[in-house]
Amino acid sequence: MRYLILLCLLVPFHAFAETSLWKVSKAGSEIFIGGTIHVLSISDYPLPEEFEQAYQRADMIVFETDLAIMAQPEVQQQFLQRVIYRNGRTIEDYVRPQTYQMLVDYVASTELRMEALKSFKPPLLMITLLMAELNRLGMANIGVDDYFNQKARIDGKVLGELESFQVELSVIEKMGKNHEDEMILSTIKEMKELSSVMHELKQAWRSGNSFLLEKIGISDMKVEYKDLYQLLLVNRNKAWMPKIEAFLKTPEIEFILVGALHLVGSDGLISRLRAMGYKVERFKP
């Protein structure tokens, strides 16, 4: 189970004819919907031209949640309150001794300090380890979402979101619950494979290879962690559909940006939209 894939798709790869960007239309109304990568490296820019063209044509830019609110100190404090153990409890109390020792050994190989991480619940621990490794590899630049959020605010574009920041915080908080050992062991293993795995994922994203994205990012999760699959993808995709359909009834053009894994597979947004009779095609400006 590759938990890190659930957070981002990374690493430069540029020479492709298609991207993970779609045009959805019905009865004269249309929207764009693009799969995103939440963290990139500097060499990933400029983004594919299709994304820039969709942005220029759109009247509204829609994200998973309000990124400005998520960046507010008070919201970040709310997040920390949810992902830090209280009353003297630590991660050592929730995993097997051998798992904890592997974590200690891995952290010792980094510039981090185990003493500072002991109170972190698995989601925060995973994010901290991931960002430290991405920084070491020079891959921690802003991703697609932040890039267009900043651009849209400068350009005065109308912004929208598919879910509240409270929903987003709740989803992250629940990641790995009752699977603490698996989450930590998987994260440690993935750190050693991060560059090569993310290179493959980035290639799949940039080329719009939905089959490969599903194979690497979703297939194992559907079988091994059904509850997590429901939490992260199925439930959220289902909750977003009425909002996406509402956008398709407006005269304005919306450009919706969501994590790339939300688009692929039988439960993905693309399959759902097609099943409901919408015309869904690759966007080619």
Q: So what's the pLDDT on residue 17?
A: 38
- The terminus-to-terminus CA distance of the chain in angstroms comes to 37
Q: Which amino acid is at 38?
A: H
Q: What's the pLDDT band for 88 if we cut at 50, 70, 90? A: very high
DSSP assignments along 147-174, one per residue: HHHHHHHHHT-EEEESS-HHHHHHHHHH
Q: For 221-259, how does the pLDDT look when each residue is reduced to its tens digit (9 = 90+)?
A: 888 778 888 888 899 999 999 999 999 999 999 999 998
Write down the pLDDT at residue 31: 97
What's the token pair of residue 16?
Answer: 């492709």
Q: Is the per-residue pLDDT at 204 higher than 50?
A: yes
Rounded Cα distance, 55 and 48, in Å:
11
| Alpha carbons 26 and 177: distance in angstroms, whole number | 40
Q: Which amino acid is at 139?
A: M
pLDDT for residue 8 is more than 50: no
Average the pLDDT over each of 74-83, 91-100, 112-121, 248-257 and give the range with the smallest value: 74-83
For residues 6 and 198, the answer to whether their CB atoms sit within 8 Å is no
3-state secondary structure of 32: strand
In this structure, of 21-25, 173-177, 196-200, the range with the lowest mean pLDDT score is 196-200
Query: How do beta strands 60-63 and 158-161 pair?
Result: parallel
> Which residue type occupies 55?
Y
- Residue 46 preceded by cis peptide, ω within 30: yes
Residue 36 amino acid letter: T
Contact (CB, 8 A) for 39 and 228: no
| pLDDT number for residue 159 | 97
Tokens of 99: 């798992």
Sign of CA dihedral 183, 188, 191, 192: negative
Q: Could you give phi then psi for residue 84, rounded to 5 degrees?
A: -125, 135
Domain residues of the chain, as ranges?
3-282
The per-residue pLDDT for 1 is 41
Whether the Cβ atoms of residue 29 and residue 250 lie closer than 8 Å to each other: yes
Q: What is the pLDDT of residues 14-50, one digit of tens each?
A: 333 357 899 999 988 999 999 987 777 777 788 888 9
